[in-house]
Copies of this chain bind each other. A is one copy, B any other.
Amino acid sequence: MSMVKADISMSLDGFIARPNDGVEHPLGEGGERLNQWVYGLKSFREQHGESGGSTGPDDQVLRESFEGVGAYVMGHGMFICGEGPWGDEPPFHAPVFVVTHHPREQLVKAGGTSFTFVTDAIESALAQAQKVAGEQDVRVAGGANIIQQLISAGQLYEPQIHVAPVLLGTGRKLFDDRDSKQIELEVTRVIESPGATHLKYRIGV
């Protein structure tokens, strides 16, 4: 059975983007600080068709997040921001299911990436992704809204939060207030590096 996993960078004060996130600044103005730990890594460069880059704990963590992925689920906002920069060969190399209110024909890109636009809610996108993924993982590419919905629905198995050592002060929170029951997690792995503390959890244990 396919596992649903998510990886996301968050500031210590809980933000995954600075204000005015959009096409021009996918992580908001100044928000690229969150992913500073990522940009120079060998696995990041490989995923974008480039050579070189650094190795070490951060690289190991990022590499894992690309491995064994059978399909992705993504929010509309993230797709809109990424469509331009990702170009003709996006860095997913797997089918991507985009949860959106805007119907659109499937896009097939080079390198194994396709975008399928799902307009009948997250459950449908997840079901389609799981069907395609088979025994492989379904990765939630973001953003915060999709992750929150999956947690509330009890559908997210393994979130990994990359806590960047910065206080962004304002922007988009990973966790909005949600006046409902507490949800227990189990911390399954902690990897530290100067760029981020990588906290891997299982939910509902």
Contact = CB atoms under 8 A, between A and B. Distances in A.
Contacts of A180: 169-170
Given A13-B175, A175-B13, A187-B192, A169 B197 contact: no
Contact of A184 (B166, B173, B187): B166
| Copy count, this protein chain | 2
Contact of A182 (B151, B169, B187, B199): B169
A138 interface: no
Contact of A197 (B178, B184, B199): B199
Interface residues of A, number: 34
A183 B197 contact: no
B186 A165 contact: yes
B177 A169 contact: yes
Contacts of A169: 177-183
A140 interface: no
A161 B12 contact: yes
Contacts of A179: 169-170
A133 interface: no
A163 B14 contact: no
Interface in A22-66: 30, 33
B14 A165 contact: no
A-B pairs with the 5 shortest C-beta distances? A13-B175, A165-B185, A190-B192, A167-B183, A14-B14
Interface of A: 12-14, 30, 33, 151, 161, 163, 165-170, 173-175, 177-187, 190, 192, 194, 197, 199, 201
22 contacts: A12-B185, A13-B14, A13-B175, A14-B14, A14-B173, A30-B182, A33-B182, A165-B185, A166-B183, A166-B185, A167-B178, A167-B183, A169-B177, A169-B180, A169-B181, A169-B183, A170-B177, A170-B179, A186-B194, A187-B192, A187-B194, A190-B197
Given A14-B175, A170-B178, 13 more contacts: A12-B161, A13-B174, A165-B184, A166-B184, A167-B175, A167-B178, A167-B183, A169-B180, A170-B177, A186-B194, A187-B197, A190-B192, A190-B197
